[in-house]
Amino acid sequence: MAPAVNRNAAEIDYVNQPDPSTNSRPELETGANHAESGTKLLRVVAVGFGVLCILQVALNVSLRLALNKPQPTPDEMLCGNETRDACELKQQTRQYLQKGWLYFRDSFYYMSSIKKTWPESQEYCQQEDADLVIVNSREEQNFITQFSRNRFTWTGLRELAGTDQWIWVDEALLTESYWGPNEPNRLEKENPICVEMRFFDTENSWNDISCTTENFWMCEKEAPL
């Protein structure tokens, strides 16, 4: 009987003994996993914050460079990639148009709003790097007749002193004329004699008159080609 009792006791002791391999192992493994996950999260946050800092610095530098970069001038914006001659023509056209000049067939024209003598009118035009108007064609004659708007207006034509020849301000002799009826008639006996536009109901509108008369005037400046 004794051996049987002992065997049962041994079996009972064996069954109730805890497995050493399972003591606290699940809890330790779970804690380690949580710690590792927390470390990875901190690393991700740190890397993200660093990237944001770098982007902010880059943005600040870009903005500073953009603000300090020389801005294009109005002329540079106007011309773009055009050739130098085309750019100069655009710049000059804008400048003259802003001052009240008109553009027609490769020239700029200015009509005065006050009156001066012929020499004073020519002097004004020269100050604008121009001359009193020179008529080279019928189209130009019609244009300046309309531009004058029925105001007696000096042209760049005058009589060559002591002769019966007429000469333009550029020293070219008159070859094509638009004299009014019975003109020139030299009713003004004084010298010198200059030419004005007077007869606006016809294409032939020129009249000869003393250069000391005060008239409106028209300047002409050739545009660069």
Digit-coded pLDDT (tens) for 132-188: 999 999 999 999 998 888 899 999 999 988 788 999 999 999 999 999 999 998 876
> What is the per-residue pLDDT across 42-100, written as a single tens digit (0 to 9) for each?
777 777 777 777 877 777 766 666 556 555 555 555 566 667 767 777 777 788 888 88
Of residues 103, 114, 99, the one with CA closest to residue 217: 114
pLDDT exceeds cutoff 50 at 1: no
pLDDT exceeds cutoff 50 at 4: no
Q: Is residue 167 part of a domain?
A: yes
What range defines the domain where residue 173 resides? 112-222
The total domain count for the chain is 1
pLDDT exceeds cutoff 60 at 5: no
pLDDT exceeds cutoff 50 at 10: no
Q: Is residue 206 part of a domain?
A: yes
Q: Which residue has the tokens 């750019």?
A: 87
Which string of DSSP letters, residue by residue, matches 122-175? HHHHHHTT-EE----SHHHHHHHHHHHTT--EEEEEEEPTTSS-EEETTSPBP-
Q: Is residue 76 part of a domain?
A: no
Q: Is residue 98 part of a domain?
A: no
What is the C-alpha separation between 120 and 122, in angstroms, rounded? Answer: 5
Q: Is residue 201 part of a domain?
A: yes
What is the C-alpha separation between 90 and 121, in angstroms, rounded? Answer: 27
Q: Is residue 32 part of a domain?
A: no
Q: What backbone phi and psi angles, to 5 degrees, belong to 205?
A: -115, 5
CATH number, domain at 186? Answer: 3.10.100.10
The dihedral sign for the CA sequence 72, 74, 79, 83: negative
- The DSSP 8-state label assigned to residue 1 in this structure reads -
The dihedral sign for the CA sequence 66, 70, 72, 76: negative
